[in-house]
Amino acid sequence: MSRQLNDVVVVDAVRTPFGRAGEKGLFWRTRAEDLAVPLLKTLMERNPGLKPEMIEDSIWGVTNQVKEQGGTLGRMVTMLADWGWDIPGCSIDRMCASGLTAVGFAVTTIATGMADCLIAGGVEHMGHVPMGFMRDSHPRAAEAMGDESAFVMGRTAENIHDRCPEFTKEMADAYAVACQRKADLAIRAGKMKDMIVPVEIEMGDGTRMLADRDQQPRPGTTMEGLAALKTIFRDPGGRVTAGNASGLNDGAGAVLLMSMERARELGMEPKLRWVSTGVAAVDPRVMGIAPVPATRKALARAGLTIDNMDIIEMNEAFAVQALYFLDRMGLKADDPRVNRWGGALAFGHPLAASGPRLICFILGLCKDNPSARYGLATMCVGRGQGYSMIWENMMRGV
């Protein structure tokens, strides 16, 4: 029996501010679950007519599923939001793309008619649960992935520099400076306000405050300043520094998805319509190149080209990975469609939260640019994967 797929739409998307990981970070005294709960409550408050019992599943990306991020966080957070016991939930891991994969799983569930209203998100507290914490790799893991460099994402970025010497450190630094400049302009223009949910936090002296802005951006970044930074993963001869790499961060993002029919039935505005998804895998030692084949798959399945993309949101784990993507996709480094509000080099990369952040940005940019039709979200993934999604702007002309 053949079955036509349902149209899947984003009704709303929100995120926390992104804090720096560690004792000086915004969320040092805040648990990972308590980053997710305010997002759930805000989605309910911002969408009148939505009731907790309408949520048929809570799918959350969590890369490091131990300590406070273990115990099936996707199920736990709905109960912590006081939504009762009747909403199922799960946690999934595709490393950096865990949150974007959670959205992808939700899309599949709705498209195939197994549900019509879901929440998908991603959360990562890299201060409390550092990357690789308590991980026990197989004795043959390094051999299977090529060598030990595949375990360390910064070393995989250095490997791209090695294999593609046309992408110099100076080019990576220039890209990072431009990213910080775009982020600063967007923040000062108030572009983050609609997507950021303030989170009440405890400070070191025991006082409490509302965190309502990202901690990571460095608006005063200059080429001279970046040139003086020490290379982290190879010295001497390295090219990757803290200035041309994304930060270690804490944060969360959540997306409310429905079938088109259900959204209209509830009187809610469909903002983005899912078009296609592409997932790809490459040599883990150069994991940052994987958004290229993933994007090509997504474009081919949609019958579109990169020229059809009006908005391109790429998670910049490292500047060299971004330069590779732009070059191989035939785009200029300063293409105005790419990361118009800045990317992860400025805002940070709290792993599983970064995919939902990309969707928040696409939604906001579509509101800002009603003539834009298609938006691409793409990101590289540890262990050599790429994940891309194409969305159509349903607010065109509004």
pLDDT at 244: 98
Q: What is the CATH number of the domain that holds 157?
A: 3.40.47.10
Residue 92 lies inside a defined structural domain of this protein: yes
The 10 Å CB-count burial string (b at 16+, else e) for 113-141 is eebbbbbbbbbbbbbbbebeeeeeeeeee
Residue 380 annotated to the active site: yes
Is 164 part of the annotated catalytic residue set?
Answer: no
Residue 23 in domain: yes
- Domain assignment present for residue 354? The answer is yes
pLDDT in tens, 9-64: 999 999 999 999 999 999 999 999 999 999 999 999 999 999 999 999 999 999 99
Inside any domain, residue 131: no
Residue 51 is predicted with a pLDDT of 97
Phi-psi region of 134 (alpha: psi -120 to 50; beta: other; left: phi over 0): left
Residue pair 21/234 in contact (Cβ under 8 Å)? The answer is no
- In order along its 398 residues, the chain shows pLDDT tens digits of 567 899 999 999 999 999 999 999 999 999 999 999 999 999 999 999 999 999 999 999 999 999 999 999 999 999 999 999 999 999 999 999 999 999 999 999 999 999 999 999 999 999 999 988 999 999 999 999 999 999 999 999 999 999 999 999 999 999 999 999 999 999 999 999 999 999 999 988 888 999 999 999 999 999 999 999 999 999 888 999 999 999 999 999 999 999 999 999 999 999 999 999 999 999 999 999 999 999 999 999 999 999 999 999 999 999 999 999 999 999 999 999 999 999 999 999 999 999 999 999 999 999 999 999 999 999 999 999 999 999 999 999 75
Query: Does the annotation mark 96 as catalytic?
Result: yes
Indicate whether 27 belongs to any domain: yes
Which value, to the nearest 10 degrees, does the dihedral of the CA atoms of residues 26, 31, 37, 39 take? 30
Residue at 66 is within a domain = yes
Q: Per the domain annotation, does 311 fall within a domain?
A: yes
User: pLDDT value at position 334?
Assistant: 94
357, 253 Cβ separation under 8 angstroms: yes
3-state secondary structure at position 257:
strand
| The one catalytic residue among 128, 349, 360, 366 | 349
Closest CA to 131 of 284, 248, 285: 248
Structure tokens at 229: 């930074």
- Structurally, the chain folds into a number of domains equal to 1
Instruction: Specify if 396 maps to a domain.
Output: no
Give the active site residue among 96, 179, 360, 366: 96
The domain of 266 spans 8-126+150-390
The pTM is what? 0.97
pLDDT of the residue at 2? 61
